[in-house]
Amino acid sequence: MTMKSIFAEKTLTPTSSELEKALGATFPIWQELENFTTKTAPFTLAEWNYSGEKFGWSYRIKDKKRVLIYLLPRDGYFKAAFVFGQKAMDKIMGSTVSEAIKNELQAAKSYAEGRGIRIDVKGHSGFEDLLRLIEIKIGN
């Protein structure tokens, strides 16, 4: 499992067609998550971000104060990453989100900004959980 984006060249911001080619069958899922996030949050800004040579390019969707979701492109799939504060964690633990995600979040190291999780997206399995996590992140 690689930590690095499929897009690693600092001087080349990924294009939509390059992203579609890299993600293959998961590209429409990426689009669905992006569209859901931008429609659900009152204000969003989506942007590519180069995190250094170790990680390469990532895509993040922010509101006015924080990143709502990170989308991390890989070869043929992507990762959806979130950071949740305590209020959001409490909501997640009481939600219908899968036990696997709840357990992973509880096991994650806690930082000042919260607990982080990265979820592999290789198909529609777990898609409803991702939508619920986005809603919780936006609402908290």
- pLDDT averaged over the chain? 94
Structure tokens at 56: 């390469």
| Spatial distance between the Cα atoms of 82 and 113, rounded to a whole number of angstroms | 11
Residue 69 DSSP SS3: strand
pLDDT band (50, 70, 90) for residue 2:
low
How much is the pLDDT for 52? 87
Tell me the backbone φ, ψ of residue 41, rounded to 5 degrees: -80, 145
Over 80: is that where the pLDDT of 1 sits? no
Whether 69 contacts 80, CB under 8 Å: yes
| Spatial distance between the Cα atoms of 59 and 70, rounded to a whole number of angstroms | 6
How much is the pLDDT for 121? 97
| Spatial distance between the Cα atoms of 135 and 71, rounded to a whole number of angstroms | 16
Structure tokens at 119: 């979820």
pLDDT digits (tens, 9 = 90+) for 68-109: 999 999 999 999 999 999 999 999 999 999 999 999 999 999
pLDDT digits (tens, 9 = 90+) for 45-74: 999 999 888 889 999 999 998 999 999 999
Structure tokens at 61: 């969707």
